[in-house]
Amino acid sequence: MKLPKELTTVTNTSKILAGIVFITLPFIAFFAGTYYQASITPKSTDNTSVSTSKTSTSSASPSATANWKTTTLEKLLFKTPSSWYFQQEQKGKNGSKSIAFAPEDPGGSIDTPLSYNLSFVPNTTITNQKQKDANNIYMTIEEDNAVSISGLNFTIISGLAIYPSEKKAAIAFVQYGEDVYSLYTPGGDDLTFFNQILSTFKFTDQNQTEVSIPNSWSTFNKVVEGTNFKLRYPKEFTVKERQLASNSSEGVDLLNGKGSSAKTVASIYLYRDFQYAYKGESRREWLKKNLSSMYSSWDFSNLIFEEISFSNGKSYLKVSGWPQGLSAFNNSSYYMGVQNSLPFYVTGSQYISTEDMQKVLSSVEVSK
């Protein structure tokens, strides 16, 4: 079939049309591909927090904060660079308090994007306070980490916040007794000062015990049932590992003697039968809740808690005042510690001196 001449002849008009098609076709293909990709990619339709839990240990050089000025909020002592500006302490509902400070003069506004904010909230837990503080700045929580800094266990959340300005922010929480202290920073992309300030946290009524462990003491450092236990102990003692196959806990027992005559002098262990997992809340309330669930016929509301801290940063709750019928608890000294978000327990018997028990407590390290 012979085509008409106008369809086979190259004209100026046909050359222009061909050029337009040659230039525009790649752009049409690109935008079509982009539209298709968008149509098959799921979209986020809400602000549901995506939280990841990590555990780490951080420390700041003491020399970096040596010349900083010290400020007090309730029972907390903390340091900031001497040149920073502070605003007057604010009092809130139910005994809460807060104080704002910034590296530059904020001009009197406590809502300035430059301001750090330190808060004290009594009679609460980190679990209860965490989402409230995130909601106050319209933060979508992207990270939720447990961090140990200078012997204190912090929960740090971070993510994009809308208030007071749209940028990444971070909030650190620490539980002390029944109260929660939190530090907010708007500079979530650079946490240098934030971590340095956290490293200076110290509580005014936190009595720290100095202990010295003899060089002659033995060292145990081993993974037992997936958990690493490290501790120092008198060389005349022996260590027996606890296995989950025959116990509801993993850990180690310190024994004095051998064979059937061996006496358990102390135990360090994680308990597996508690119903409620530890999520950074008040250690007191968490322990009472789990004990009440396990021993429903006993009343644990009158337990007595004593904070014990060592100069190396290790800290425990010494628990006493057990119900009369629980002889296993009343015949031992009972301590609860939390390291790297792991609650663990140390018990001591009459076969170990108070002095040696303190040395063992100060040496214990527990991690996954």
246 token code pair? 């025959």
pLDDT score, position 20: 54
Average pLDDT (140-161) is: 88
pLDDT greater than 50 at residue 29? no
* Predicted TM-score (pTM) of this structure: 0.57
Strand 249-256 and strand 263-271: the pairing is antiparallel
Average pLDDT along the chain: 80
Whether the predicted pLDDT of 197 surpasses 90? yes
Contact criterion met (CB below 8 Å) for 275 and 296: no
Distance (Å, rounded) from C-alpha 342 to C-alpha 339?
5
For 51-80, the pLDDT digits (tens) are 344 545 555 566 789 899 999 999 999 999
**Element at 64 (helix H, strand E):** helix 62-65
- Read off the pLDDT of residues 159-169 as tens digits, 9 standing for 90 and up: 999 877 788 99
Please name which of 170, 176, 207 lies closest in space to residue 58, comparing C-alpha atoms. 170
Which amino acid type is present at position 149? I
Question: Does 33 score more than 80 pLDDT?
Answer: no
User: Is 42's pLDDT higher than 60?
Assistant: no
**Which pLDDT value is given to residue 56?**
53
Instruction: Give percent of the chain with pLDDT exceeding 90.
Output: 39
At 76, the amino acid letter reads L
pLDDT surpasses 60 at 243: yes
At residue 223, the 3 state secondary structure works out as: strand
Q: Residue 206: which pLDDT band, with cuts at 50, 70 and 90?
A: low
What confidence tens digit (pLDDT) does each residue in 70-112 have? 999 999 999 999 988 888 889 998 899 999 998 876 565 545 5
Does the structure show a pLDDT above 80 at 269? yes
Q: Decide if pLDDT at 173 tops 80.
A: yes
Q: What pLDDT score does 88 carry?
A: 84
**How far is residue 49's CA from residue 131's CA, in Å, rounded to a whole number?**
10
Q: What is the mean pLDDT of residues 230-236?
A: 95
> d(Cα 154, Cα 157) in Å, to the nearest integer?
10
Span 280-294, average pLDDT:
86
Domains of the chain: 53-203 (3.40.1000.10), 209-367 (3.40.1000)
pLDDT of 118 higher than 50: yes
Contact 222/231 with Cβ under 8 angstroms? Answer: no
Q: Give the residues across from 100 on adjacent strands.
A: 117
Position 336 pLDDT exceeds 80:
yes
What is the predicted pLDDT for the residue at 37? Answer: 40
